[in-house]
Chain A
Amino acid sequence: QKEVEQNSGPLSVPEGAIASLNCTYSDRGSQSFFWYRQYSGKSPELIMSIYSNGDKEDGRFTAQLNKASQYVSLLIRDSQPSDSATYLCAVNTGNQFYFGTGTSLTVIP
């Protein structure tokens, strides 16, 4: 079983819609959770981190964490074509970082 699992997609949403990206993790001792965005041909860029159960909002982005279900998600409101990228979920477990394989998102104008 992989430490971090993501649906590889591709996920397509129309411009202005909400994009929902999901991630599950296997280790209940995991302490912190991250979302990175990677544009094609570029390196990953940190967009959100979350440590406590519940929601954390930053602009159009909302990260949601449910430790009981071992589930973390990223919502992108009012999706824009510039949001088209691969989104990587990462988990810090005992100071080890584990990355998912990423979900490809396409926002259709």
Chain B
Amino acid sequence: GAVVSQHPSWVICKSGTSVKIECRSLDFQATTMFWYRQFPKQSLMLMATSNEGSKATYEQGVEKDKFLINHASLTLSTLTVTSAHPEDSSFYICSARKEEWVTDTQYFGPGTRLTVL
């Protein structure tokens, strides 16, 4: 297997503030990481694909200026929610792609629960 961590695991912030979430691959290098958002009882929604050393690729409808992604190293990607509002409250999950012998596999972090008051 492979281990992906996220920090913080939960955060509560006031409306208008910015929140940074870190995603780390602990025992492998990940050229590509993914950021998802999940609302209660709904499916995972891919927000963006983060590539080390280059700009992230955002899915349609995701505001790149609001959700800033930086993939500065092969083991770390960060998601910053800028000027957060209550509608941004959600469960944010990252995953990292591990290159394995037969195929690439995605491993997920434990998620970060964001509550914006």
Residues of chain A at the chain B interface (Cβ within 8 Å): 31-32, 34, 36, 41-46, 49, 51, 88, 90, 92, 95, 97, 99, 101-102
- A54 → chain B closest CB, angstroms: 15
Which of B43, B93, B104, B109 is A95 in contact with, Cβ under 8 Å?
Answer: B104
**Chain B at the A interface: SS class:** strand
Q: Say yes or no: A43-B110 contact (C-beta < 8 A), given A99-B44, A102-B43.
A: yes
Q: Which of chain A's residues have a CB closer than 8 A to the CB of B111?
A: 42-43
- For the complex, is B107 an interface residue (Cβ under 8 Å from A)? yes
Which residues of B sit under 8 angstroms from A31, Cβ to Cβ? 103
With an 8 A cutoff between CB atoms, is B106 at the interface? yes
CB-defined contacts of B46 to chain A, threshold 8 Å:
99
Name the interface residues of B51-78: CB closer than 8 Å to any CB of A.
none
Query: How many A-B pairs with Cβ below 8 Å?
Result: 43
Within 8 A of A (CB), among B69-117: 91, 93, 95, 97, 102-111
Nearest-neighbor residue (CB-CB) of A32 within chain B: B103
Contact residues of B between 18 and 42, Cβ < 8 Å to A? 34
List B contacts of A95 (CB < 8 A).
104
Given A46-B108, A51-B102, A92-B103, output 11 extra A-B contacts at Cβ < 8 Å: A34-B106, A43-B93, A43-B110, A44-B93, A46-B105, A46-B106, A46-B107, A51-B103, A95-B104, A97-B34, A99-B46
Please, which residues of chain A bring their CB within 8 A of the CB of B1? 46
